[in-house]
Structure 1
Amino acid sequence: MPDPVATDPDHYRVLWENERVRVLEYRDRPGDRTHPHEHPDSVMVTLSSFEREISSGCRHVPVHLDAGQARWLDAQTHAGHNVGDTATHVIFVELKERRPTVSADTPTLGPTAP
């Protein structure tokens, strides 16, 4: 599966990694887009407020988050587009261990509400 650090190295960088987790920093500017990439189950911490559109296939989900929030992100493949007028700055804590049970339902796209 496509790693965001490989597909979009100008936006993602690895801050720290061990055998169980990887911590990524993500930054972009208004109008920037990412290529399709995959995230495992992750915790996302917003360091800036932003508006994005997350897409996967024909699904498109608007995302507006304020700075200082933490959200769960189910494992997913998506691309993103900064549709707002502010830069995005986010930290992802990616889990390397797979979830013990996986639902057969359609996975969530984008972050989940608290």
Structure 2
Amino acid sequence: MAQDPVVTDGNQYKVILENDQVRVLEHQDQPGDSTQQHHHPAFVLYAVSPFKRSITLPDGKVIQREFKAGDVIYSPAQTHIGKNVGDTPTHVIMVELKAPAKP
């Protein structure tokens, strides 16, 4: 299984909050930057700034994504390599879900 992005790309990912329910990451990079292959559990992503990104999945499939500032998406668990293919830095906040909420 792919590793934690904070381990593989600690220069781009920073943990800003963690508890037994969620882990909140800040991710920043520059045009042309790529990550190592890594894994995220299900997550919510908030785009702080606009950016374009290619996501390469383990099977080789490439997905092109473009975000505007303020865009929010949900994604199921995913292993990928990310590359900033635009002209602007990437800046996102990701909330990784850990476990179902306790009653």
TM range, smaller chain: over 0.9
Whole-angstrom CA distance in 2 between matches of 1:83 and 1:45? 18
2:78 aligns with: 76
Mapped partners of 1:42, 1:97: distance in 2: 11
**Gaps in structure 2 of 5+ consecutive residues:** none
AA of the residue aligned to 1:60: V
Counterparts of 1:32 and 1:19, CA distance in 2: 31
> Structure 1 residue 81: deviation in Å?
0.5
Q: What is the aligned partner in structure 1 of residue 47 from structure 2?
A: 46
Task: Give, in angstroms, the shift of residue 97 of structure 1.
Answer: 1.5
Q: CA deviation at 1:56?
A: 1.1
2:19 corresponds to which letter in structure 1?
A: N
Identity among equivalent pairs (%): 49
* 1:112 corresponding residue in structure 2: none
- 5 Å-filtered alignment, 1:82-97, equals 82-97=84-99
**Structure 1 unmatched runs, 5+:** 99-114
Structure with more contact order per residue of length (Cα contacts < 8 Å, sep ≥ 6):
2
Moved over 2 A (4+): none
SS of 2:17's partner is: strand
C-alpha separation in 2, matches of 1:87 and 1:27: 7
**TM-score, scaled relative to structure 2:** 0.92
Aligned residues: 98
